[in-house]
Amino acid sequence: MTFSLLLTQLLNGFQLGVLLFLLSAGLTLVLGIMHVINLAHGTLFMMGAYFAAATFGLTGSFMLAAVAAIAGSLVLGAVIERVVIAKLYARDHLYQVLATFGVILLFNEIARYGWGPSPVFMDVPAFLSGTVDLGGVVYPAYRLAIIGVGLLVGAGLYFVVHRTRVGMLVRAGATDAGMVAALGVDIRRLNAAVFAAGAALAGLAGLMAGPILSVQPGMGEPVLILTLVVIVTGGVGSVRGAVYGALIVGVVDTVGRAFLPTLMRELMDRSVAMAAGPAVASMLIYLLMAVVLAVRPAGLFPVKHG
């Protein structure tokens, strides 16, 4: 194991973490402030990728694809909030799970109908198609760009949440939604805005993932599961928790996959390690989540109450 390989794997973990952060930031706010379980968040990720791939296919421009992905999923998020979620705020979580699961099935079928069951092509912009040499570590330029975009969004989100009036209301809503409403804030409009912003972030994640992953029906579900792991690990409703949770999950998953099978081969019989190594590596983040839940049930960085 060389130092440059370790560094590359850390960058890989960081890049996965950044992508997961874009997804979990929106979802954690929806869950924390609105107390709504939105399983359709992965669907917004998928539709963002499809909007991007379709626009890219028509125009060949990555910039237009970015506009389409973000604007498209923002509008779609607002519509889903108004049509499906708004009617279920007062209901039990089970109704929300059922309704948003229905949304997943609906949009997977729409994608299959509109674009077919095979993956759709989406390329990286030409100026990011190569690799960058970071002092001995050769890294794909596009993945560096993902890290850059994620850090920018993270900084922007930090500014909005901690330095603006809207952000203050969001934080207040996360702590005590009833009190905020009692003070005369239109909590429904705040909810709709948060939901749409979360959808736009999911669409942005879909855009960034489009050239790496295959854009196809059902691509949102595996990502949704990872996102839920991030939120539970980081602490529901906390943007800070989403940042750290995403980075921890990204790095643990990647570094575990990269080095655990090799490590196990050193420690035990080769045939056992060959069978167990990959399996344990892919379980690692769930083990992490289980330990976090056992030790700190509210997550590593919970919202501070009171």
Binding site for another protein (CB under 8 A): 2, 4-5, 8-9, 12-13, 15-16, 112, 116-121, 123-124, 129-131, 138, 140, 142-143, 211-216, 218-219, 222-223, 254-255, 257-258, 261, 274, 277-279, 281-282
Which CB, 164 or 282, lies closer to another protein? 282
Contact (Cβ atoms closer than 8 angstroms) between residue 292 and residue 232 = yes
Q: What is the C-alpha to C-alpha distance for residues 271 and 147, in angstroms, rounded to an integer?
A: 38
Task: Take residue 68 and report the two structure tokens written for it.
Answer: 């389409």
Least distance (Å) from another protein to the CB of residue 94? Answer: 26
Rg of the chain in Å (alpha carbons):
20
Q: Which is nearer to another protein, 64 or 112 (CB)?
A: 112
Q: How far apart are CA 200 and CA 79, in angstroms?
A: 12
Residues 134, 8: contact at Cβ < 8 Å?
Answer: no
**Comparison of 101 and 123: residue with beta carbon closer to another protein:** 123
Q: Which is nearer to another protein, 88 or 213 (CB)?
A: 213
Query: Could you tell me which of 126, 100, 84, 83 has the C-alpha nearest to residue 37?
Result: 100
Count Cβ atoms below 10 Å from residue 271 Cβ, excluding itself: 8
Q: How far is the CB of 20 from another protein (least distance, A)?
A: 11
How far apart are CB 70 and another protein at their closest, in Å?
22
Give the shortest CB-274-to-another protein separation in angstroms. Answer: 7
Closer of 105 and 166 to another protein (Cβ):
105
> With contact defined as beta carbons under 8 Å apart, do 149 and 19 qualify?
no
Residue 172 CB, nearest approach to another protein (Å):
37
Nearer to another protein, 54 or 157 (CB): 54
138: which strand partners? 133
Cα separation, 118 vs 121, whole angstroms: 10
Strands 137-140 and 131-134: antiparallel
As measured in angstroms, the least distance from the Cβ of 155 to another protein is 24
